[in-house]
Amino acid sequence: MQAFNKTQQYKVTQANENQRIDNFLITYMKSAPRKHIYKLIRTGQVRVNSKRIKPFYKLKVEDIIRIPPYIGKELLDVKVDSVQKNNFLKRIIYEDNNLLIFNKPTNLSVHSGSKLGFGLIDIARKVVLKNERIDLLHRLDKETSGCIVLTKNLRTLRKMQDQMKNRAIIKKYICLVFGKWKYKDGIMKTSIVRNKKKHSIETNFEKINEYKNFTLMGVTLITGKYHQIRQHCYKLGHPIVGDKKYKYGRSLPQAKINTINRIFLHSKEIVFKDVDSNKKIKVKSPIPEDLKNFIKEID
């Protein structure tokens, strides 16, 4: 278990230069929940060069990071048995020396802090042991399934983050929404509010199939904001089936809930450039059986 009985002092080297302090702490305090790490930053318990900092502060070589003592229930020593290890390895749908792509099942959190107590990243760090470090490039909601990228070293993490920043990574999803889609295919723009700040979002929508009370949509993210697809569909009057938060009061009959007790949102494809060769790589995740079965029911 990663626990700190006394205050830690960490001197930043080139390996962590330009890394955000929150991302550094998430890796350094491997088993600590994100919410606790952000609390440490927010309350000034974590300091850099004796000064309070924001989560987005970027580290400089020779910065001195003060990390307070921490032992608590939030820390968890994740024990991964052979079954969990094999299940994890079976769900790796792409891997090279720099990263891997995991086919995340529904109801698995990517971070610790859930009722389960641990997340995908905790399991990955126990299973993939031969690497410098394992980091999540992005996140998926707990109920959302499909492609998620984990990097194996800081260099790859930074290069992939640059690709995301420059919109060079293409992330495609499939979702089922309530109602018959009433818009043309193409990029749609709107704004959402997150932490009292307004954010512009862009999403490309493409109708795949239409049913009596539903529409199957292909969705490509242009921007990448919190709950973007879910919020955008909701604002367009077509909430995603199974979404418990953005739903306009729409819900499925009990018989259908028993068939699909999750959100119908799946990360089906990701396209990016290899960080060494610059070659384009496309990875696909098959649609889960529960989603395919639900489509058969409504067809």
Question: What positions carry a catalytic annotation?
Answer: 141
Measured distance between the N- and C-terminal CA atoms of the chain, rounded to whole angstroms: 50
Largest CA distance in the chain: 62
Q: Identify the H or E element spanning 232.
A: helix 228-235
Per DSSP, what are the bridge partners of residue 217?
A: 175, 207
Please tell me the distance from the alpha carbon of residue 23 to that of residue 5, in angstroms, as a whole number.
Answer: 22
- Contact in structure between 94 and 100 (CB atoms under 8 Å): yes
Instruction: Taking each helix axis as running N to C, give the angle between helix 82-90 and helix 120-127, from 0 to 180 degrees, rounded to the nearest 10.
Output: 100
Helix, strand, coil in percent for the chain, rounding step 5? 25, 30, 45
